C-alpha cells in the first residue's frame, strides 16, 4: 500500500515542476506536423511559453519531434514528452514569445 502512495506522488511531481503557468485554451485549433508527414488538426487544451497540451485523433509517441502551427504562426519545433489516450504534452525546443501566447489567449476571450 505504501508503494502505491509513493507511485501516485511521483506521477503528480511533473505538474509541480512547471516553469510557467499554463493557460487553458479550450477550443483553439493547432496543426501538428511530423517530419515528412501530413499535417493533422488537433485541439490546443492549454499553453505556456514552454509547452502545451494537445488533444487529437492521432497523438504522437513520447520522444517524437513535431512542428506545431499555433494561431497561424510559423511552425514551432517541439518534442512530445507524454501521451495519455488522445492527449499529449509537448515541450517547445525554444520557448515561444510571450506576445504569441498573449495573442492566442486574447483571441479566445
pLDDT of residue 29: 67
Q: Is 15 a member of any domain?
A: no
Q: Is 90 a member of any domain?
A: yes
Q: Is 43 a member of any domain?
A: yes
pTM (2 decimals)? 0.69
pLDDT of residue 78: 94
Q: Is 97 a member of any domain?
A: yes
- In this predicted structure, the answer to whether residue 9 has a pLDDT above a threshold of 50 is no
pLDDT digits (tens, 9 = 90+) for 48-62: 999 999 998 888 899
Contacts of 77 (CB under 8 A, 6+ apart): 65, 66, 67, 92, 93, 94
Q: Is 44 a member of any domain?
A: yes
Q: Is 12 a member of any domain?
A: no
Gap between the Cα atoms of 23 and 58, Å rounded: 23
How many domains, the chain?
1
- Name the residue range of residue 87's domain: 20-108
Q: What is the CATH number of the domain that holds 68?
A: 2.40.10.220
The H or E element that residue 3 is part of is: helix 2-16
pLDDT digits (tens, 9 = 90+) for 74-98: 889 999 999 999 999 999 999 999 9
DSSP secondary structure letters along 19-43: SS--EEEEEEEEEEEETTS--EEEE
43 versus 23: which is more confidently predicted?
43
Amino acid at each position: 500500500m505504501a508503494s502505491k502512495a509513493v507511485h501516485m506522488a511521483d506521477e503528480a511531481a511533473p505538474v509541480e515542476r512547471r516553469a510557467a503557468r499554463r493557460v487553458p485554451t479550450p477550443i483553439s485549433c493547432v496543426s501538428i506536423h511530423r517530419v515528412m508527414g501530413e499535417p493533422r488538426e488537433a485541439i490546443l487544451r492549454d499553453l505556456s511559453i514552454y509547452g502545451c497540451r494537445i488533444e487529437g485523433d492521432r497523438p504522437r509517441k513520447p520522444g517524437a519531434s513535431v512542428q506545431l502551427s499555433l494561431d497561424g504562426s510559423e511552425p514551432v519545433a517541439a518534442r512530445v514528452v507524454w501521451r495519455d489516450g488522445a492527449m499529449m504534452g509537448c515541450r517547445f525546443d525554444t520557448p515561444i514569445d510571450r506576445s504569441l501566447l498573449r495573442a492566442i489567449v486574447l483571441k479566445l476571450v
